[in-house]
Amino acid sequence: MITDYARTFDYDGFMEELEAAFQGYGKAAVRDFVAMKRRDPFRVLIGTILSSRTKDEVTSVASERLFAEAPDTEALAALPEVEIEELIYPVGFYKTKAKHLQATARMLLEHYGGEVPSTLAELLKLPGVGRKTANLVLGEAFGTNAICVDTHVHRISNRVGLVETGTPQETERDLEAILPERYWIRYNYHLVAHGQEICKPISPYCSRCALTPYCRRIGVARSR
């Protein structure tokens, strides 16, 4: 549900403060990696699949190790599943991800000429790709305005008081209705870092948060 607060919210001021604060954060390793590989849809897609439930520094190292052996769709499709497992270990759920990566590469070859599709509907057909991954690929690889909602974006959007939602998909839907489209791609990029550095799930660092004037601290029982 979109809140009344969201209808009069200063999105420009909020994003300005968020982006300024971001400059002082240790940027997420996977985001630095994605930024370096931007406009390479294959690497953005694979790196994003690997990043799920995995620390950023682990994702970055595993991605580079995998791409050294499989720099493109054809090479990844040809790798035995067990070899993919070895290359991406210890990312979370590495066995399942190895299966999905191989299946995705083969599907790209069979149905998309080896290229990553550039629409949400087609991306969601790929093994292991959900809305979060698909939207991030659209934004980072293709420059398509899309809101990628992960746990940080979902939590902080509710905590600030913009939405009152129970699932990331509900948050995505409501943010699309209220967040100016020019901020869609950057919103996730900066909120992820903010969630990792300041707006923790439990006991966030409200005392040093630049966004305090904008935040209603919904659900915050204690803070630092």
Half-sphere exposure of 44 (CA within 13 A, CB side): 26
Neighbours of 148 (CB within 10 A): 25
Max Cα–Cα distance, the chain, nearest Å: 54
State how far the Cα of 107 lies from the Cα of 89, in Å rounded to an integer: 23
The one-letter amino acid code at 14 reads F
CB 54 within 8 A of CB 33: no
For the question of residue 55 being annotated catalytic, the response is: no
Please identify which of the residues 12, 132, 174, 200 carries the catalytic annotation.
Answer: 132
Q: The tokens of 123 are what?
A: 């991306």
State how far the Cα of 103 lies from the Cα of 164, in Å rounded to an integer: 37
- Alpha-carbon distances, residue 139 vs 10, 82, 124, 171, 222 (angstroms): 23, 31, 15, 17, 35
Please identify which of the residues 40, 56, 150, 174 carries the catalytic annotation.
Answer: 150
For the question of residue 132 being annotated catalytic, the response is: yes
State how far the Cα of 185 lies from the Cα of 182, in Å rounded to an integer: 8
Tokens 């630092």 found at? 224
What residues act catalytically?
A: 132, 150
